[in-house]
């Protein structure tokens, strides 16, 4: 399981011209799954994400977590995180989990995550337009393995 975590002041996701999810202060997280990922990967990364100290304290030092600032998450499914570009110019997605398997893990990720913080989402498999103001910018890649 792989995440791209972006600290955000404001973000939204649009499908077919309609905003389907939006947050103000928090994290935009692109979420990708690979074969072999399971609930343990989700649990590990949820703990990491909600406690990751990447928000500024009163001295401008990244010392606060998402929980500390009472932030939200915009969670976006993103199979292209597992693109393999070693050969040629067209990415291969053989390392991405098949959609019919990944959707259940993505739903479990969002359900479990929402027990800690407010979560907004895109629509799995849809053509999404993601808008965000990346604060900092702060962008961190996390993997469960």
**DSSP, residue by residue, 34-60:** -TT--HHHHHHHHHHHHH---EE-TTS
- Catalytic, 79? Answer yes
Q: CA 51 from chain center: how many Å?
A: 15
Give the torsion sign (CA, 135, 123, 39, 36): negative
Catalytic residue among 80, 121, 124, 139: 80
Burial bucket for residue 44 (CB in 10 Å: 0-12, 13-18, 19+): middle
- Catalytic, 107? Answer no
Catalytic residue among 55, 79, 85, 107: 79
Catalytic residue among 33, 34, 55, 78: 78
**Residues acting as catalytic residues:** 78-80
């Amino acid at each position: 399981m792989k995440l791209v975590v972006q600290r955000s002041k404001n973000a939204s996701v649009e499908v077919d011209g309609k905003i389907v999810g939006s947050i103000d202060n928090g994290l935009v997280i692109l979420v990708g799954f690979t074969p072999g990922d399971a609930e343990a990967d989700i649990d590990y990364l949820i703990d990491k994400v909600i406690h990751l100290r990447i928000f500024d304290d009163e001295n401008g030092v990244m010392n606060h977590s998402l929980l500390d600032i009472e932030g939200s998450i915009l969670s976006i499914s993103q199979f292209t995180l597992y693109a393999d570009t070693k050969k040629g110019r067209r990415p291969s997605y053989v390392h991405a989990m098949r959609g019919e398997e990944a959707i259940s893990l993505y739903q479990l990720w969002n359900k479990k995550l929402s027990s800690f913080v407010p979560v907004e989402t895109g629509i799995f498999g849809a053509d999404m337009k993601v808008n965000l103001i990346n604060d900092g910018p702060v962008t961190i890649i996390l993997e469960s393995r």
